[in-house]
């Protein structure tokens, strides 16, 4: 299978500006409470890295969680598998779960329910760089959304397709080309 980059949707400067805007919103809502950021690997690590650079609160902690839900290149499966769990104690903590993109919503819904039930945080906020509400299969609403996009397959800024294009400093639309 061959993939073709189509159009650039968001530039590097747009992405950093949005990360700063979201960081300000998160800090405002946290009201000087210590914040635990949980990054969903691997896709959200670039976004999270930029977002955290804009956080002024010195009392933060960072952890990661890893799942998989993609059964093939361009479609998402209904099953979410937990591949790496959280190491920190989240009980009675102010937690922000950082995701790269909400598509069907199944992964983030699974993770939010899992974290609430297992770790019992004081508060769990959901932050995503990209949201595709037209693809939603479960009821889910993020507290912080960078950009709302149409039903396009996107890559770059940490988001990959078959482990390709993750390193791009921007987000672009990609299409599959039949050979």
What is the distance between the alpha carbons of residues 5 and 70, in angstroms, rounded to a whole number?
20
- The per-residue pLDDT for range 91-117, each reduced to its tens digit, is 999 999 999 999 999 999 999 999 999
Candidate list 103, 131, 150, 160, residue with the active-site label: 103
Nearest to 64 by CA among 51, 50, 83, 92: 83
**Are the beta carbons of 142 and 131 closer than 8 angstroms?**
yes
Tokens of 135: 């693809």
The pLDDT value given to residue 123: 97
Q: Where are the domains of the chain?
A: 2-23+33-68+79-177
CATH for the 2-23+33-68+79-177 domain, from 3.40.50.261, 3.40.30.10, 3.40.50.2300, 3.40.50.2020: 3.40.50.2020
103 in active site: yes
- The per-residue pLDDT for range 9-55, each reduced to its tens digit, is 999 999 999 999 999 999 999 998 999 999 999 999 999 999 999 99
**Are the beta carbons of 143 and 126 closer than 8 angstroms?**
yes
Q: What is the DSSP string of 70-99?
A: ESSSS-EEEEEEEEE---S--TT-EEEEEE
The pLDDT value given to residue 2: 82
In angstroms and rounded to an integer, the radius of gyration of the C-alpha atoms of the chain is: 16
| Whole-structure pTM value | 0.92
- The per-residue pLDDT for range 140-177, each reduced to its tens digit, is 999 999 999 999 999 999 999 888 899 999 999 998 87
């Amino acid at each position: 299978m061959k993939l073709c980059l189509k159009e650039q949707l968001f530039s590097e400067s747009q992405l950093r500006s949005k990360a700063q805007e979201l960081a300000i919103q998160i800090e405002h809502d946290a009201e000087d409470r210590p914040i635990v950021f949980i990054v969903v690997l691997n896709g959200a690590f670039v976004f999270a890295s930029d977002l955290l650079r804009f956080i002024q609160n010195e009392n933060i902690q960072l952890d990661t969680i890893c799942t998989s839900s993609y059964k093939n290149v361009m479609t998402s499966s209904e099953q979410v598998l937990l591949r790496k769990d959280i190491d920190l104690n989240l009980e009675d903590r102010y937690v922000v779960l950082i995701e790269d993109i909400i598509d069907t919503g199944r992964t983030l819904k699974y993770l939010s329910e899992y974290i609430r039930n297992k770790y019992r945080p004081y508060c769990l906020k959901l932050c995503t760089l990209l949201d595709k509400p037209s693809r939603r299969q479960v009821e889910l609403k993020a507290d912080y959304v960078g950009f709302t996009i149409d039903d396009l397959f996107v890559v770059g800024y940490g988001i990959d397709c078959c482990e390709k294009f993750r390193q791009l400093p921007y987000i672009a639309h990609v299409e599959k080309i039949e050979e």
